[in-house]
Structure 1
């Protein structure tokens, strides 16, 4: 089994993938030593997944402080033949690290992933206000690139990364716990090629991307009313530009429940009638195991009873005579 992740090694995404493999049933990870392949972007990993070079990939999708990870959301929305099969969460903490012990006042450049930068911007403004902020493809890449510089090149430079990355690349930790919000968590999704939906557990999420009719006022309200009328709660909704022209947006939505739940299936059918595009991305177990509270008129038995009732009524309809016999 070959798994891709946003690399290099020791990123939070790498940690999420290791967690997923450790928790997966043995029959789902047949190799004693699965191949874990780092990528510089989610888009590159997705291309290899579609091409068959990977069996699955792990990607960050949202952070409790910064919200959705746009790079992942856009790739998922634009790719038809993939399915989310699992999720993981990783507590996030950052350190400021350098090649050697350095006074904060002597730092001129601090590099990290933009999402990490946003989570430590308050600390950086207060403690290293004179340093330029540079972007890296990941927090671990910032640490790796800094470690690869010679001492002269690394003078005045630092990286915001995980404690594990700083330790792995032999960097000196200048400050710990520099995140602006303690207890931040990032959520990751495990993605495979289309074709396998995990069985319902009772504590599940369903992820879809929908495009609303652009020439129909109140379309978003109609979509939300479809979910509400079927007792389907949203745990996340985010808008992303479609990209064809200004003002066109799709909505990435996490729903509480599984495709196998009658209420979720009914809501998706109605969304499919309303929306020109409904991109189903998967139903999968919630990592927190939380089960939604479902009203008795939205449980499966209620939908089944209503369907049976209509079928009995339909059986009472008088058949139309054959026109040729009239």
Structure 2
């Protein structure tokens, strides 16, 4: 089994993969090869081609919101399925090749999402430094460690404590994130099309495209969730890319597709939306169960279905004459 992740080693995505593997049977983990990628889109292409069996990717950050690169890749194909999620606590350090005065730094590099989460600290502590973009926080640390002492003078990386240690960097400052307790959510994706069994504490992810020529289409779609007691835990708009003003909506809801209320909502959406892209139902990592009113329990839907079946069974067949 080959599992892809946004590399190199020690990225937060790699940490999420290690967390996912930690809860799997040891005999399975022993057969897993961890494959680093430079981009989620590249990993997805290899997943669809069969070169890897699964990938893990960041989908949401508690500070920055949705990770657009992952959201767009997931929305672009219906051949992959989310089967699990992981949450990683995010903390950053400022690291250099050798002990350096922070005031002497000229360039600080990191991934754009990390930059956004430490921009206040950087503005206050290294206002004169240029901020450079790296493909990942670990790549920023790795590239800095690979420089000669002369090349690395005046440069630093924003990365995880694990990356700084792994690549032998000197930590100049710890816990430099602007929001303590920040988290990033990751999803584990396969191409098998198998949906994990419901646990009672589940999440379902989908992408909607709305009728573009009907006013109130978004409200109409949201009412389908409300009418069935389905709570949304995330909704984000993403441009379709064909022309301005056209958007899809990436949505997480509480519940599993086998829950009657979730299935009823998806049936209704399938009727009114030109595209309903189902991405998967999977266990919530926090184990939280929805607080349902009695009318949204499975038994209530089953009773209503049986009642209609009984009534339709009483309908007199039309005469063939």
Given the two structures, how large is their TM-score scaled by the length of structure 2?
0.99
Match in the other structure for 1:266: 264
Shift of 1:31: 5.1
Q: How does 1:160-199 map to 2 (within 5 A)?
A: 160-199=158-197
Equivalent of 2:154, from 153, 156, 177?
156
Match in the other structure for 1:310: 308
Shift of 1:295: 0.8
Match in the other structure for 2:119: 121
Instruction: Report the secondary structure of 2:36's partner residue.
Output: strand
Match in the other structure for 1:103: 101
What are the superposed Cα offsets for residues 197-240 of structure 1, whole Å, 9 maximum, x if unpaired? 00000000000000000111001001111000000000000000
Match in the other structure for 1:21: 21
Shift of 1:24: 2.1
Instruction: Report the secondary structure of 1:9's partner residue.
Output: coil
Shift of 1:194: 3.9
What are the superposed Cα offsets for residues 259-279 of structure 1, whole Å, 9 maximum, x if unpaired? 000000000000111110000
Stretches of 4+ aligned residues off by more than 4 angstroms: none
Match in the other structure for 2:8: 8
Match in the other structure for 1:202: 200
Unmatched tracts of structure 2, length 5 or more: none
Shift of 1:25: 4.0
Instruction: Report the secondary structure of 1:245's partner residue.
Output: coil
Q: How does 1:277-296 map to 2 (within 5 A)?
A: 277-296=275-294
Instruction: Determine the C-alpha separation between the residues in 1 that align with 2:151 and 2:105.
Output: 13
1:51 aligns with 2:55: no
Instruction: Report the secondary structure of 2:45's partner residue.
Output: helix
Instruction: Determine the C-alpha separation between the residues in 2 that align with 1:118 and 1:270.
Output: 39
Instruction: Determine the C-alpha separation between the residues in 2 that align with 1:141 and 1:57.
Output: 19
Given the two structures, how large is their TM-score scaled by the length of structure 1?
0.97
What are the superposed Cα offsets for residues 19-50 of structure 1, whole Å, 9 maximum, x if unpaired? 10111245xx6352410000000000000100
Instruction: Report the secondary structure of 1:58's partner residue.
Output: strand
Q: How does 1:216-255 map to 2 (within 5 A)?
A: 216-255=214-253
Instruction: Determine the C-alpha separation between the residues in 1 that align with 2:198 and 2:4.
Output: 26
Instruction: Report the secondary structure of 1:37's partner residue.
Output: strand
Instruction: Determine the C-alpha separation between the residues in 1 that align with 2:29 and 2:233.
Output: 35
Instruction: Determine the C-alpha separation between the residues in 1 that align with 2:292 and 2:31.
Output: 42
Shift of 1:104: 1.0
The number of aligned residues is 321
Instruction: Determine the C-alpha separation between the residues in 1 that align with 2:145 and 2:266.
Output: 49
Instruction: Report the secondary structure of 2:28's partner residue.
Output: coil
Instruction: Determine the C-alpha separation between the residues in 1 that align with 2:31 and 2:306.
Output: 51
Instruction: Determine the C-alpha separation between the residues in 2 that align with 1:147 and 1:295.
Output: 56
Shift of 1:105: 1.2
Instruction: Determine the C-alpha separation between the residues in 2 that align with 1:61 and 1:24.
Output: 22
Match in the other structure for 1:276: 274
1:212 aligns with 2:210: yes
